[in-house]
Structure 1
Amino acid sequence: MRTRNEHKEQLVKEKAIEMIVKLGFDGFSMQKLAKLAGVSPATLYIYYKDKEDLLVQLGAEETQRLTTMLLKDFSSDMHFEAGMRIQWRNRAEYWLSNPLKATFLEQIRHSHYRDKVYNAVSTDFVEAMSNFLQNANDRQELCPMENEVFWSIAYAPLYNLIRFHTEGISLAGKPFQFSEALMWQTFDVVMKALKQNKT
């Protein structure tokens, strides 16, 4: 029986993500991946049962890496603004440092692999965020709103800044580069929209 080679396996993962981002799931095949990674097709089947197994494992591994990063320095007991500040910092760090992997995760999220990937991932992040929002509501730090409204306001502005940065251009057609100053200026506006006005 052939043994796993960690270096080759890592290379296969990197090339698989590159191929999926470039060609999509329909353009991806084990044959093409083997050629791109410089390994024999038989080598891939040491690591994965088939194409679906590869995609689910890859998606689950990267989703878990993302959620671990999002929970860095974060606690569900934090006051709302402090916790949100850490969430914005962690999300920006991941998306700006891993643009290819972030794009891959977006593709997974909009594919039929989504449920299988999410079922293979720890629920720590979902539980932490649910508890965080419940605590913020209990302390009356948040304006009353539906969850979908909250998620749309809470993070979409950050992701738009990152999208402008990735594309290198603003809506006005001018060159655009992400900066912490712009991120925190946007964050302050989002906080005003979400926080309960107690005056």
Structure 2
Amino acid sequence: MRTRDTNKENSIRKQAIEMVVKEGLDGFSMQKLAKAAGVSPATLYIYYKDRDDLINQIATEISLRLMESSLQGIHPKMSFADGMEIQWKNRLKFYMENMQEIEFVEQIRYSPLYETIRQVIRQKFGDVLGAFVMNAINRGELVPLPFEVYWAVAFAPLYQLIKFHSQGRSHANDEFTISTEMVDMTLKLVLKALKP
């Protein structure tokens, strides 16, 4: 049995992320990855069972790091406004530092492969986020909403600003760069919209 080589594994992971971001899932295969990474196809199977296992492992690891980063400094009993500000700053920082990895997860998000990742995230972080939201509702800081409506209002505006930034343009401007002032302005509007 061959031993795992961390450098080789990291190289394979990096190449897989680049390929999926550039070519999408449809064009991605273990054969192509092996060639691009400069390893034999057999080497890939030391680290991963198959293509889906490789994609799931990488996307799960990235998603867990995103959630851990997002919740850093969050306590379920803190005020809703303070908790949201911390989450927005944490999410923005993670996205800006890991753009390609986030694009990789976005490729997977709308495929059947994402279901496993969604379940892992819910299981690992659902209690913390749920308690934070319920405490805010009980204190009268947050209007009770279906989860999907809450999430769309609470985080979609941030993600849209990040998307404009990653594209380098918005619908109105040929050049766009996200700014702290813009993020703060958007967060204030979000907090206002979510108040009872």
Aligned to 2:162: 162
Q: Distance in 2 between matches of 1:123 and 1:5?
A: 31
- Report Cα offsets for 1:105-144 as digits up to 9, x if no partner: 1222211111223345572322111111100011011123
Report the residue type matching 1:151 in the other structure: W
Match of 1:94 in 2: 94
Match of residue 111 from structure 1: 111
1:123 aligned counterpart, secondary structure: helix
Structure 2 residue runs without a partner (length 5+): none
Q: Give, in whole Å, the separation in 2 of the partners of 1:121 and 1:190.
A: 24
Q: Give the residue type in structure 2 aligned to 1:130.
A: G
Given residue 2 of structure 2, which amino acid in structure 1 is its aligned partner?
Answer: R
TM-score (norm 1): 0.93
Post-superposition shift, 1:164? 1.1
1:148 and 1:23 map into 2 onto residues whose CA distance is 30
Aligned to 1:51: 51
The alignment's TM-score, normalised by the length of structure 2, stands at: 0.94
Q: For residue 143 of structure 2, give the secondary structure of its aligned residue in structure 1.
A: coil
CA-CA distance at 1:13 after TM superposition = 0.5
Letter in 2 for 1:73: G
Residues 122 and 153 of structure 1, relative CA distance in 2, 3 Å threshold:
closer
Q: Secondary structure at the match of 1:176?
A: coil
**CA-to-aligned-CA distance 1:40-94 (integer Å, 9 cap, x gap):** 1111111111111111111211111111111111111111000000110111111
Q: CA deviation at 1:147?
A: 2.1
Greater than 4 Å deviation, 4+ residue runs:
none
What is the aligned-residue RMSD (CA, Å)? 1.4
Residue of structure 2 in register with 1:139 after alignment: 139
Count of matched residue positions in the alignment of Structure 1 and Structure 2: 196
Deviations 1:5-25 (A, max 9, x none): 000000101110111111111
In the other structure, the counterpart of 1:191 is 191
Aligned to 1:76: 76
Q: Would you say the 8 A contact 1:64–1:122 is kept in 2?
A: no
Q: In 2, Cα distance between the equivalents of 1:143 and 1:68?
A: 26
Q: Is the 8 A contact 1:157 1:186 kept in 2?
A: yes
Contact 1:31–1:41 under 8 Å retained in 2: yes
Provide structure 1 residue ranges, at least 5 long, that are not aligned to the other structure.
Answer: none
